[in-house]
Amino acid sequence: MENRVRLKAGILTFKKSATELYKNTLYLIILKMIKSFIRKLFPSDKKRNKILSDLKSNPNFKSKNEIKEHTTQSNFDLEKGKVERIFSPALRDQKGLVLTKWWVQPGDIVNHGDIICEIENENITLEFESFYNGKIVSTCRLNQNLPPGTEIFKIEGI
């Protein structure tokens, strides 16, 4: 059986069964779905750079390399008994931040750089790291909306 497939450039003639044509069409549809899914998982350089510029617009934002270059271990140690309040970031164009996951609970001992929680909105997911070495004293509730300046947790120097 000879089948004809119309293309933009003309007609392509080949010998394949209708079942094989259906399988090939299904394969192409699945391939497009996979490509679309991958594009959503890994945003374009333009979108990634926009998110990064939003983060850098916050004067308190520093990359791991910048932190390592300008700090020493003593900068991460809180004075014993001193409680420090940690607040949600103020990101310029990132609205609707929600605390979606806690990696720690009150009473846990954490070090500088340990992931404390995940904060996300429709565009990004942030893993929020501890700024200090210490003990988690209190946390806000899970799935709480976090407008800029909302207290996320308290950490006590040990």
Residues 82, 157: contact at Cβ < 8 Å? yes
In this prediction the pTM is 0.53
Q: Above 70 in pLDDT, residue 72?
A: no
Separation between Cα atoms, residue 77 and residue 72, nearest integer Å? 10
Please give the domain boundaries of the chain with CATH numbers for all domains: 3-40 (no CATH), 45-156 (2.40.50.100)
Give every CB contact of residue 42 below 8 A, 6+ residues apart in sequence.
Answer: none
Model pLDDT for residues 124-148, shown as the tens digit of each residue: 888 889 888 999 999 999 998 888 8
Rg of the chain taking only CA atoms, in angstroms: 25
Q: Above 50 in pLDDT, residue 7?
A: no
Pairing of β 134-139 and β 115-120: unpaired
Q: What is the DSSP letter of 140?
A: P
Model pLDDT for residues 9-45, shown as the tens digit of each residue: 444 445 556 666 667 777 788 888 888 877 777 777 7
